[in-house]
Amino acid sequence: MDAFYASVELLRYPQLKGMPVVIGGGRRKVDEAIRDLPDGATLADIPVAAFPRLKDYVGRGVITTATYPARQFGIGSAMGLMKAAKLCPQAILLPVDFDQYRAFSRRFKQIILEIAPLMEDRGVDEVYIDFTGVPGGQREGGRVLARLIQKSILQATGLTCSIGVAPNKLIAKMASEFNKPNGISVVYESDLEPLIWPLPARKVNGIGPKADAKLERFGMRTVGDIAAKDRQWLIANFGKATGAWMHEVSWGRDERPVVTESEPVSMSRETTFERDLHAVRDRAELGAIFTHLCEKVAEDLQRKGYVGKTIGIKLRYDDFKIATRDQTIDRFVDDGASIRRVAGLCLKRVPLERPLRLIGVRVGALARANELPTGPQAGPLALPAGRTAERTDSTASLF
């Protein structure tokens, strides 16, 4: 989907069309501004001048989506809002409304499923679709079906998307970016050399900042640069799995199927504080937030019908370093109190001297609540899994 969150917002606020708009981060300021908007008016009547601006924002948020006009200013996803404000202070800033985006997400995926039943969910705004068995799916190399999907989604939701059609997921993903927004691009196997090899290595799904930097150190910038190395060289320098994978990818090879069903592995909740908190000085506040996160994860588990037996925490310190701890218990749980208890044990095993910026709670090793073996869930001897909590000085009785 093209600039998905922003596009959904523009459906509500059509008066912002063509303007630099960003969706992002910490809510409070934006919520206040929206609340103060003149009442009686419908959303579409709100004068542009009444919307909050990036320059008025104070806080720690990042941009999730920027409209294309905003991108003209150099603003992009994941950029800190404070930095974006320097690039384009007059850009309009809207708060994220996940419920709304999820609703639109369901609608566009439903449209696709009615046309092509083999669809892999890749998050709120992206999917893979297998055209192979769809009637007419091969006409004009898939372009006809892609057009139908675009048209149907636009009709049902008012939203545009960009589609890449290719022999596999790897190339299709890259192709989908060739013609944004509202574009279609069909890439054949024979296009590898002219269309894929010139691309920056970073465009490959799976090559991130670290791998890219390492490639750079070898003087390699493009996918073609990778393809030019032999397999053994890549394996020697990037490891057995990564090296072999890079070789395959650079030659456009990818055999991964379109996966239509999957089970969640973990569920988590985390939050970044408005200001850094200290385990001792801000103990009460931190404790309340921690408990709240445990309750939210529990709600999520229960609403979706899952239980889990690995409970974990995540801290991000003021220096941005991350620490995680987890503990596997001998039964499956989905209630806030149990999660809170085990998460509290995890907290006692992690250094708490530095100020904290973020705290998170995670439940993993999930199983469907209705598919658990009946009777007592205890393992063979209910041995304490993992080590027991070791208390560290300042943290001993905090939580």
266 binds DNA (CB under 7 A): yes
Site for DNA (CB under 7 A): which residue of 300, 302, 348, 355? 300
3-state secondary structure (DSSP) of residue 30: helix
Structure tokens at 117: 């039943």
Contacts of 153 (CB under 8 A, 6+ apart): 108, 111, 112, 159, 160, 161
349 binds DNA (CB under 7 A): yes
The angle at the Cα of 236, spanning 230 to 240, to the nearest 5 degrees, equals 95
395 binds DNA (CB under 7 A): no
Residue of 126, 248, 295, 299 marked active site: 126
Stretch that binds DNA, among 58-66, 135-143, 220-228, 281-289 (CB under 7 A): 58-66
Structure tokens at 282: 């801000």
Closest CB to DNA among residues 240, 281 = 240
Site for DNA (CB under 7 A): which residue of 294, 327, 333, 336? 327
Residue 328: phi, psi to the nearest 5? -95, 130
CA distance 94 to 43: 13
254 binds DNA (CB under 7 A): no
- Pick the closest to residue 75 from 90, 97, 96 (CA basis): 90
Closest CB to DNA among residues 46, 360 = 360
264 binds DNA (CB under 7 A): yes
Stretch that binds DNA, among 37-45, 75-83, 130-138, 142-150 (CB under 7 A): 75-83
Residue with tokens 């890219």: 212
User: Which residues does residue 21 pair with via DSSP β-bridges, in sequence order?
Assistant: 92
Site for DNA in 205-224 (CB under 7 A): 205-212
Closest CB to DNA among residues 37, 350 = 350
174 binds DNA (CB under 7 A): no
Following DSSP, what letter does each residue of 242-294 receive, concatenated? HHHHHHHHHTT---PPP-------EEEEEEEEEEEE-TTTTHHHHHHHHHHHH
Q: How far is the CB of 173 from DNA (least distance, A)?
A: 6
Site for DNA (CB under 7 A): which residue of 2, 15, 34, 60? 60
371 catalytic per annotation: no
Residue with tokens 């598919």: 371
Site for DNA in 93-112 (CB under 7 A): none
Stretch that binds DNA, among 40-48, 77-85, 151-159, 333-341 (CB under 7 A): 77-85
- For residue 367, the Cα-to-chain-centroid distance in whole angstroms is 23
- Pick the closest to residue 9 from 162, 159, 168, 134 (CA basis): 159
Closest CB to DNA among residues 287, 386 = 386
Site for DNA (CB under 7 A): which residue of 124, 134, 144, 289? 124
Convert 35-103 into a string of H (helix), E (strand) and C (coil): HCCCCCCCHHHCCHHHCCEHHHCCCCCEEEEECHHHHCCCCCCCCEHHHHHHHCCCCEEECCCHHHHHH
Q: How far is the CB of 188 from DNA (least distance, A)?
A: 22
386 binds DNA (CB under 7 A): yes
**Site residues (CB under 7 A) for DNA?**
25-26, 58-62, 64, 77-78, 80-83, 122-126, 173, 204-212, 239-242, 264-272, 300, 309-310, 312, 320-328, 346, 349, 357-358, 360, 365, 385-387
Instruction: Catalogue the active-site residues.
Output: 126
